[in-house]
Structure 1
């Protein structure tokens, strides 16, 4: 799943909270994101900056969902996760035995991930954090490799809490009544 698609699938309030956090805590990132999104739409940033803060955030949350905003969306998600959810990132990396800088950034990512450690770690993350944030993190982590990690892909597919957007429940097959055969 691409970054702009994550914004399409996440709850609107989560997307708003991403930009609200950036506006409150990471002003430079917020301003750069606003300018980049405005440039994508061929607008001058001042046009958006003149709006009240809630309208700016709403505009950004709407426009980052566009395909042309994928690179910006990926950057925004990475920064938001690394700054606002550092504990979750370090817990994940520690749980998998991946070396990191103590702030959630890892230089060398493994080729394979231990599925058992992954399940245990993600179960803990889901217990301690908002499941949608955990889902966004795992999907974002998958972007670090062109095909992601099959172990994470399988875990996401098997865990409804890790699937962004509305989970389509497969209807249970109705029990067929035994056919009565009339013998002559």
Structure 2
């Protein structure tokens, strides 16, 4: 799935969680994303900023669901996970044996293949500690890091009933 498809499939509450995180922790990213989305729709930023927050979020989500917003959507997802979910990313990398900087940012090469048994253990570990929707979204974003993803991860995402976005 591409980022715009992830936003289309995700529970709107999950997207609200992402947007709230940016508003609370990195307002510059939030403002920049809204400005970029507004510009892509030929709107002025102030037009969006004057809307009440629930209407802003609804407009942002609607815009992120469009194919033309795929790049900004992917950047938002990556930034949210890299800054707001470092512990979860590190646990996943540890469980998968992927070299990282201690905060979940991969330092070596991504694996060419993913061991299905290791993946099962890693997913079980994450599901014990984190919201299944956040875990699912992370795994889908991780899959975007390699063209075509990984067969084992794709199969896990398609067949595990615990890994749903909505």
Output the TM-score relative to the length of structure 1. 0.85
Write out aligned runs for 1:141-180 (5 A): 141-165=142-166
Counterpart position of 1:140: 141
Distance in structure 2 (CA, Å) of the matches to 1:111 and 1:91: 20
| Contact preservation (8 Å) 2:3, 2:74 | yes
- Alignment length (residue pairs): 165
Write out aligned runs for 1:14-29 (5 A): 14-29=14-29
Counterpart position of 1:2: 2
Structure 2 SS opposite 1:15: helix
Deviations 1:123-181 (A, max 9, x none): 1111111101001000000000110011101111220121334xxxxxxxxxxxxxxxx
Write out aligned runs for 1:73-88 (5 A): 73-88=73-88
Write out aligned runs for 1:1-184 (5 A): 1-107=1-107, 108-165=109-166
**Which has the larger helix fraction?**
2
Distance in structure 2 (CA, Å) of the matches to 1:124 and 1:4: 28
Output the TM-score relative to the length of structure 2. 0.94
Structure 1: any 5+ residue segments left out of the alignment?
166-184
Runs (4+) of structure 1 exceeding 6 A deviation are none
Counterpart position of 1:176: none
**Larger relative contact order (C-alpha < 8 A, sep ≥ 6)?**
2
| Contact preservation (8 Å) 1:99, 1:106 | yes
Distance in structure 2 (CA, Å) of the matches to 1:116 and 1:102: 23
| Contact preservation (8 Å) 2:132, 2:164 | no
Distance in structure 2 (CA, Å) of the matches to 1:51 and 1:157: 38
Coordinate RMSD, CA, aligned: 1.2
| Contact preservation (8 Å) 1:19, 1:60 | no
| Structure 1 residue 57 displacement after superposition | 2.2
Distance in structure 2 (CA, Å) of the matches to 1:104 and 1:56: 31
Structure 2: any 5+ residue segments left out of the alignment?
none
Flag the structure with larger Rg.
1
